[in-house]
Amino acid sequence: MQITIDIDAEEPLFAQLMGGIKAAVSAGTLAPGAPLPSIRQLANDLDLNNKTVAKAYQLLERDNIIQTKGYRGTFVHPDAKAHVDFDLNAWVAGQISDTVEACRARGATDSEIRIAFANLMQNKMNGGQ
């Protein structure tokens, strides 16, 4: 598994790592069921912090690309190749884009949309206005 991490890149480190693993799965370098390095091992190899690798692993598991089996380590998900093409972030971006467009069409300013979003994500819901 050859993954290159560029400290100076704009893309976050954990995202680079995710991309590298997904690419390896897609290319077959990482076959379904194959074991992945432990978090600490990979962090050491790539000169990353444990938490950065752990974050990438958690998101990859959430996306059904890998599977963690506790003390037994982490493995490529049996159906990894079926899920590696689905980009959740892209789907989310599309959903949000549609909604924002609808709000703009109703006359809402970007500032208002941002505020509504921020209130929602903070569970504040002051109502305001």
Partner DNA sequence: CTATGTACCATGTATATAAGGGGTACATCT
Partner DNA sequence: AGATGTACCCCTTATATACATGGTACATAG
Question: Candidates 20-28, 46-54, 83-91, 100-108 — which segment interacts with DNA by CB under 7 A?
Answer: 46-54
Distance CA 2, CA 20 (A): 8
Distance CA 10, CA 40 (A): 24
- Residue 100 exposure: Cα atoms within 13 Å on the Cβ side: 14
Burial 74-105 (b: 16+ CB within 10 A, else e): bbbbeebbebbeeeeeeeeeeeeeeeeeebee
**Residues of this chain that bind a second copy (CB under 8 A):** 10-12, 15, 18-19, 59, 62-63, 87-93, 95-100, 102-103, 106-110, 112-117, 119-121, 125-129
For residue 124, what are its two tokens? 């504040």
Q: Per-residue string for binding with DNA, 25-44, x by CB under 7 A?
A: -----------x-xxxx---
Question: Candidates 25-33, 77-85, 97-105, 111-119 — which segment interacts with DNA by CB under 7 A?
Answer: 111-119
Output the smallest distance, CB 119 to DNA, in A: 10
Contact footprint for DNA (CB under 7 A): 12-15, 36, 38-41, 48-52, 54-55, 57-58, 61, 68, 70-74, 110-111, 114-115, 118, 121-122
